[in-house]
Structure 1
């Protein structure tokens, strides 16, 4: 090591300020008031440790370590580690997994706030007796789908695991090769089945499975027939599969349960939504499926949850299984789910009050005036050479729901003299952060996924960032 490097290293290390001096710096005073001295001190210590590591490993690349610079680094670290900070979603992806999937409706958010105090989670108000925490949600689910009974667990993978464990542990489960799906986080149906203690019997081919394939696979060891809706991809062209009604009838002839994992799960038909081809959950029940499971935070537009629907004898058996306790949901989830489900009882107001349904059904004519107003704010408050353009684009559902569907949408496209990547990053780092997408070397903000009232705030942030980057 050269002497110059060693001298710089020692100089930087000596100038690292004490933790308390950084915490008391003016740049962090607002954070101390808002978050408390303890959490700010925690992040300041980590900041100094990170700087010390950089100095020791690469002193030439290390930043300055005077008090002002360290306070600025600590402030940036606090921003990065905000507890679930609010962001503005201009990506055009409605169910964005990285940004929390479904945005909850106002009534669902209010319900979560109420549930944060004491609440009637497991008590019958009139009798004072204990009741299942998901009893109210289950009643609504049955009313909306026609199911005999319902059970709520913490996500759809958990629902699938509980169903297979309770109904088919130690037995064989017949499923089409074309439905060996991988869900989020690299989890695959065969692996979930293995964890349940059931044995997978794959039948048919990737593109075609016939009813006879299921029937030929049934033995005395068969515990269930499983159909997994390929909600996160589609196989097109030369394809074929029996209907849910046909598979259900086959299962019942052999006294077996027919299980349908519908994945993203919609309570609305394609006709009611006006787009897509996602079959409504109620149709699976009507077609004879004994057990159906779906996600709560996709097309349903609620909190993360796994929803199990079906015949009472099967659902009650799962409710009593020890695994159900390990997979149960908390009061916040129950509150948000109940409020979300209640919205579906009023078709006339659903579109206005349910965020996901509203986003899915907005037309380009609905979005264009909002985009024009967005661009006008950038022109008024941004740099003089800002030239935002209102463009036609496409949105997508996201999170594996309605995968082939490209929804015509409207966005505001912004050129940046420093390049689109730097502008997009600068927008993400604001408070609140603005998430966008890059298209044709421009930063684009899709109006479909900005919630009502967010356009002006997002546009002003874009204008301010453009001004800063070009000054």
Structure 2
């Protein structure tokens, strides 16, 4: 074994070779040197385990460019979503409209007036770019933006209830993905939680009895990814708003998904809209930018100017603020909504796409292949909106499936291991690609992968 170790070239010997110098010119000295060390370590381990007994120097040199590639290759990459889940948190949530992406690009490679008032010739406020359009669309007095909705909720609580009490219905003390828990957010924001009602029933008098001189905020929380059904009761937002106004307490709502659409035509009647909350008289409303709004990750807070003003004076806002990219995206996206250009918004198109149109898309897709034994088949399935929206509700859809001499797990692994991974789902004994979430620009890529699969 000692003789084998002696065959490993030194770091200096390796770095002096022409092919390694070429790598250095391309990728830089520090990265290549680190890759050389890792390659040597890998070869040592292989020798120790008895797996490598010859061609030691050659193996070291083979490994070096591979180790460089491991580091330099981006880990965040494009995937094709065939799951049928429109707002898929694991796959990046909302797909941006092309015009929004173009606008982001136009402002990313130059300077901008992020915090400069061109008209007055002095420093401005970055919130002004999004506030104008958000306020107009939602018919509110003011708006501000932070990096996500969890931050928005924390900022609201900290601003109005640090060292005070926050009243919340026991049935709304949720935990959602990533262990986001309302009680924990309360603690971090420096507020004391006051639970009212029971898990399944809360009455207006429960709120009234809990509000006192130490109450800083009454908070209503969207149930997000769960529902309590059966013997239940919750208090309408407008009644809580009226009570809070009488008591002189700020009333805020964490809407989570930030629904802006009428989903009743899909048979979904329990997902309130942001505008409904505004009309109910809620003082402050927060929601995500990358869920049903269909834009980038952000925590959007809208409501009364007086209260938005107090939030802006909170020093915590600076730690949670967003950059020019986020403002550019929100500004352009809200412009699309104000102009009612819904057909340009991928989330909207996916949600309201008719199942029959999806079936026809798959038929057209299949027609491009010469099949012998019905290797490709269309099956009825169900899609979901995702992002914590209406977790029990599904939307009728169609999917592509495969009749091959392969297990669904093998087919799933095949698509997931492509250069641009295709993420589908296994249901029963079949692997499905739901075309509701397949983008038109990705159809040629998918066709190529299917063609390769059929030829194996």
TM-score for both structures, normalised by structure 1:
0.86
1:270 aligns with 2:263: yes
The aligned counterpart of 2:446 is 458
How many angstroms apart in 2 are the aligned matches of 1:288 and 1:64?
A: 76
* Residue 192 (1) aligns with residue 185 (2): yes
**In 1: Cα distance, 2:53 partner to 2:299 partner:** 48
Kept in 2, the 8 Å contact 1:153–1:328? The answer is: yes
Change (3 A) 1:53 1:172: farther
The residue matched to 2:123 in structure 1 has which SS? coil
**CA distance in structure 2 between the partners assigned to 1:317 and 1:460 by the alignment:** 55
The answer for unaligned runs of 5 or more in structure 2 is none
How far, CA to CA, are the matches of 1:100 and 1:229 in structure 2? Answer: 21
Q: Measure how far apart 1:56 and its partner are.
A: 7.1
The corresponding residue for 1:202 is 195
Match of residue 76, structure 2, among 84, 87, 92: 84
Cα distance change on mapping 1:22 and 1:367 into 2, 3 Å: farther
Cα displacement (A) at 1:130 = 2.3
Q: CA deviation at 1:373?
A: 2.6
Write the distance in 2 (CA, Å) between the matches of 1:372 and 1:23: 55
Q: Could you say if the C-alpha distance between residues 90 and 238 of structure 1 is closer, same or farther in structure 2, counting changes exceeding 3 Å?
A: same
Q: Do the aligned partners of residues 229 and 436 (structure 1) sit closer, same or farther apart at CA in structure 2, a change above 3 Å counting?
A: same
Query: Partner residue of 1:387?
Result: 375
Shift of 1:463: 2.2
| Deviation of 1:213 (Å) | 1.0
What is the CA deviation profile of residues 310-352 of structure 1, one whole-angstrom value per residue up to 9, with x for unaligned ones?
11111000011100111000111111111111111133x31x2
Query: What residue number does 1:438 align with?
Result: 426
- Cα distance between partner residues in 1 of 2:330 and 2:406: 44
Residue number among 357, 362, 384 corresponding to 2:348 in the alignment:
357
CA gap of 1:372–1:219, structure 2 versus 1, over 3 A, is same
Q: CA deviation at 1:161?
A: 0.7
Q: Identify unmatched segments of 5+ residues in structure 1.
A: 1-6
Q: 2:161 and 2:54 mapped to 1: Cα distance?
A: 59
Judge conservation of contact 1:103–1:302 (CA < 8 Å) in 2: yes
- 1:144-168 superposed Cα distances (whole Å, 9 cap, x missing partner): 1111110000000000011000011
Is 2:392 aligned against 1:404?
yes
Q: Secondary structure at the match of 2:130?
A: helix
Look up the match of 2:335: 342
Alpha-carbon spacing, 1:42–1:221, altered in 2? closer, same or farther (3 Å): farther
> Deviations for 1:222-251, whole angstroms, at most 9, x for unmatched residues?
111110011221111111111000111111
Quote how far apart the aligned CAs of 1:22 are: 11
Mapped contact 1:374–1:456 kept (Cα < 8 A): no
Partner of residue 145 from structure 2, selected from 149, 152, 155: 152
Of 330, 348, 357, 1:366 maps to 357
Paired positions, count = 450
The residue number in structure 1 matching 2:86 is: 94
Q: TM-score, normalised by structure 2?
A: 0.89
Aligned-pair CA distance for 1:207: 0.9
CA distance in 2, matches of 1:62, 1:270: 66
**Aligned counterparts, 1:306-345, within 5 A:** 306-345=299-338
Tell me if the contact between 1:294 and 1:308 (Cα under 8 Å) persists in the aligned partners.
yes
Matches within 5 A, 1:42-53: 44-45=35-36, 48=39, 51-52=42-43
Q: Is the 8 A contact 1:51 1:62 kept in 2?
A: no
C-alpha distance in structure 2 between counterparts of 1:24 and 1:423, whole Å = 39
2:416 to 423, 428, 449: 428
- Change in Cα spacing, 1:251 to 1:463, as seen in structure 2 (3 Å) is same
Query: In structure 1, what is the Cα distance between the partners aligned to 2:106 and 2:410?
Result: 41
1:168 is aligned to: 161
Shift of 1:176: 0.6
